[in-house]
Amino acid sequence: MPMSGHHDRHHDHDHSELSETQLRVRALETVLTEKGYVDPAALDLLIETYEKKVGPRNGAHVVAKAWVDPSYRARLFKDATPAIAELGYACRQGEHIVALENTPNQHNMVVCTLCSCYPWPVLGLPPVWYKSAPYRSRVVADPRAVLAEFGVTLPAETKIRVWDSTSEIRYLVIPMRPAGTEGWSEDQLAELVTRDSMIGTGLPNRPENLK
Amino acid sequence: MNGAHDLGGMHGFGPVEPEPDEPVFHAAWEKRAFALTLAMATPGGWNIDMSRFARENRPPAEYLAMSYYQVWFAALETMLKQRALVADDEIAAGHSLHAPKKVARTLSPSDVAQVLYRGGPTERETNAKAAFKGGDKVRAKTINPLTHTRLPRYVRGHVGTIEHVIGCHVFPDSNALGAGEDPQWLYTVRFDGRELWGADTDPTVSVSVDAWEPYLERI
């Protein structure tokens, strides 16, 4: 799918382009391996890390802990990088993390208009929409319209703050804890935390919607 | 550079289309292109700002027509060729045809976890004093460098408020050129939506960028 467009419009065209790209990538991997620059086993490990180990469940753990543990919450908003590392999450693209607190008065949303900066250790690799032109172009100018496309409507008076990730600082939104979750455990709460709620394009699931 | 990558505020791309249950990768080649890009940074010796510049530095129509990992892969080829690590005839043949260039290090499987864990922190010590403090009004400079910059077009010339002094960080405009890290103070600068987009803008909206000191002027 092109950076600018959508799934359905050029499906056949994409298909042939993909196989051409596929051949080119395979050819380059062979060249680089034959030259001794890369070890395919290291490539496999890199892929496995981001397919299987690092993903938004890490961020959900951070959020749920911030909901139940006031001293952790305080550490997280003071300096998120070590607070997140306490839970074992640290890696590339998360060297300097800042946690953003959603409140009834302010809703935070994160974008990288220039490329695709995203907090890998807590959210994994970014989804296609986050990297694509429709989101990157519009969320800084009309965030409410973008929220509507995610099915989110906020009160008209809620301030919306958009954070454009132009440096190596990575932003993680800490959504508000849903009502009706008093007494829930950290693990139960983590189930309510969606990836999009930590980018700011969604809200946590409500307890009554949990299957 | 004023490339197609600098998308903030452009019109006409249509709605955002989230994909339910989206996989991490959409094709086998995306996985390999991703991993090759990460792994080749070790022998290739390039930094993240050089990678970003290699991705954005292409004709706008081409950039927008490519998928995300196609851009990554094209940038990888560019950087490999610039450093004479591979040649066009090798890419065409799909095999090594020339002796490998001597490289300082490669990424071994046993190093992967540690290299990822360590990442690439960009904060640096400095003796320089920060020129701005929280609450200062600043204008994002009007600049149009042909080379890499992280000051998006949509804030240039606009007035914002320093919200936070982040620290002293590697300056991408210099680092992307191989001209050294030249660390500079970095700030969170908040702009009112109406300042950026006009009087009709939703008054509840504000936008911030992280801006290095050379991007800003006091007003």
What total number of domains does chain A contain? 2
pLDDT at A211 > cutoff 70:
no
At A15 the pLDDT is 56
Q: Does residue B97 form part of some domain?
A: yes
Distance from CA of A3 to the nearest CA of B (A): 5
CA of A120: how far to CAs of A76, A123, A211, B55, in Å? 17, 5, 28, 19
Query: B112 with B38, same domain?
Result: yes
A22 touches B: beta carbon within 8 Å: yes
Chain A residues near residue B26 by CB distance under 8 angstroms:
1, 128
Q: How large is the ipTM?
A: 0.97
Q: For residue B160, tell me if it sits in a domain.
A: yes
Is residue B5 domain-resident? Answer: no
- Put simply, the answer to whether B68 touches A116 (Cβ < 8 Å) is yes
Single-letter residue type at B139: R
Q: Which domain holds residue B75?
A: 28-118
Q: B189 and B157 in one domain?
A: yes
Residue B18 domain-assigned? no
CATH number at residue B191: 2.30.30.50
**Residues above pLDDT 90, as percent of chain B:** 98
Is A179's Cβ below 8 Å from some Cβ in B?
no
* Per-residue pLDDT band at B200 (split at 50, 70, 90): very high
Catalytic residue selected from A4, A16, A112, A165: A112
DSSP secondary structure code for residue B109 in this structure: G
Residue A70 and residue A158 share a domain: yes
**CATH number of the domain bearing residue B37:** 1.10.472.20
B34 with B104, same domain? yes
* A2, A27, A94: residue with CB nearest B91: A27
**Averaged over B83-103, what is the pLDDT?**
96
Q: What is the CATH number of the domain that holds A99?
A: 3.90.330.10
Q: Which residues of A touch B194 (CB under 8 A)?
A: none
Co-location of A78 and A178 in the same domain: yes
Taking the C-alpha atoms of residue B187 and residue B202, their distance in angstroms, rounded to an integer, is: 25
User: Which of A3, A93, A114 minimises the CB distance to B67?
Assistant: A3
Q: Within this chain, do residues B82 and B144 fall inside the same structural domain, yes or no?
A: no
DSSP three-state, residue B123: strand
pLDDT at A107: 98
Whether residue A34 is found in the same domain as residue A60: no
State mean pLDDT over A157-185: 97
Q: Binning pLDDT at 50, 70 and 90, where does residue A2 land?
A: confident
Same domain, B34 and B92: yes
Q: Do A196 and A142 belong to one domain?
A: yes
pLDDT score, position A9: 44
Let me know whether B96 and B48 are in one domain.
yes
Domain shared by A163 and A118, yes or no: yes
Could you read off the pLDDT of B147-198 as tens digits, one per residue?
999 999 999 999 999 999 999 999 999 999 999 999 999 999 999 999 999 9
In a domain, A156, yes or no: yes
In terms of domains, do A104 and A194 share one?
A: yes
Q: Is B183 on the interface with A (CB under 8 A)?
A: no
Q: Are residues A124 and A33 in the same domain?
A: no
Compute the nearest-CA separation of B56 from chain A (Å): 8
B-contacting residues of A 93-152, CB under 8 Å?
A: 93-96, 113-116, 124-125, 127-129, 131-138, 140-144, 146, 149-150
User: A21 with A118, same domain?
Assistant: no
CB A94 within 8 A of CB A121: yes
Q: Is the pLDDT of residue A185 over 80?
A: yes
d(CA B197, CA B47): 34
Judge whether B26 is closer than 8 Å to chain A, CB to CB: yes
Q: Which residues of B touch A18 (CB under 8 A)?
A: 27, 29
pLDDT digits (tens, 9 = 90+) for A84-130: 999 999 888 889 999 999 999 999 999 999 999 999 999 999 999 99
Q: Same structural domain for residues A34 and A132?
A: no
Residue where a domain terminates, one of B118, B152, B178: B118
CA angle, B110 as apex, B106 and B116 as ends, to 5°?
A: 75
Give me the mean pLDDT over the A179-208 stretch. 97
Q: Is residue A166 predicted with pLDDT exceeding 80?
A: yes
Q: Give yes or no: A115 in active site.
A: yes
Question: Which of A1, A164, A165 best tests the B interface by mutation, with the highest count of B CBs <10 A?
Answer: A164
Nearest-CB residue to B152 (from A25, A114, A127):
A114
Residues B34 and B108 in one domain: yes
What does the pLDDT average to over B101-120?
Answer: 93
Residue B12 within any structural domain of the chain: no
Residues of A in contact with B9 (CB under 8 A): 137, 140-141
pLDDT for position A10:
45
Residue A21 belongs to what domain range? 11-38
Check whether B118 has a pLDDT greater than 90: no
Is B11 within a domain? no
Same domain, A70 and A28: no
A127 lies in a domain? yes
Say whether A34 and B95 touch across the interface (CB within 8 A): yes
For residue B170, the chain A residues in CB contact (below 8 A) are 168
Q: Which of B118, B151, B171 corresponds to the end of one domain?
A: B118
- The verdict on residue B145 lying in a domain is yes
State whether residue A90 sits within 8 Å of chain B by CB: yes
pLDDT in tens, B29-38: 999 999 999 9
Within-domain flag for A161? yes
| Predicted pLDDT of residue A209 | 81
Which whole number is the average pLDDT over A61-77? 98
CA distance A189 to chain B (A): 20
pLDDT tier at A19, thresholds 50, 70, 90:
confident
Cβ separation of B96 and A35 shorter than 8 Å? Answer: yes
Residue A114 lies in a domain: yes
pLDDT of B131 over the 50 cut: yes
Is residue B189 within 8 angstroms of chain A, CB to CB?
A: no
Q: Per the structure block, which two tokens stand in for A155?
A: 């009160």
**Is A116 marked active-site?**
yes
Q: What is the mean pLDDT of residues A132-137?
A: 98
Regarding whether A19 and A82 lie in a shared domain, the answer is no
In a domain, A2, yes or no: no
Contact A128 B16 (CB under 8 A): no
Exactly one of A117, A132, A165, A197 is catalytic; name it.
A117
Whether B105 and B34 share a structural domain? yes
Question: Which residue, chain included where needed, has tokens 């970003």?
Answer: B52
Per-residue model confidence (pLDDT) at position A17: 61
Does residue B124 sit at the A interface (CB-CB below 8 Å)?
Answer: no
Residues 41-60 of B with CB under 8 A from A: 43-44, 48, 52, 55-56
User: Is the pLDDT assigned to residue B75 strictly greater than 70?
Assistant: yes
pLDDT of residue A174: 98
Residue where one domain finishes, among candidates B118, B147, B167: B118
pLDDT tens digits along A3-16: 886 654 444 455 56
A121 and A201 in one domain?
Answer: yes
The mean per-residue pLDDT over the stretch A20-42 comes to 97
As for how many domains chain B has, the answer is 2
Note whether residue A69 is domain-resident: yes
| B97, B146: one domain | no
Q: Examine the pLDDT at B101 and tell me if it is beyond 70.
A: yes
Is A4 within the bounds of a domain?
Answer: no
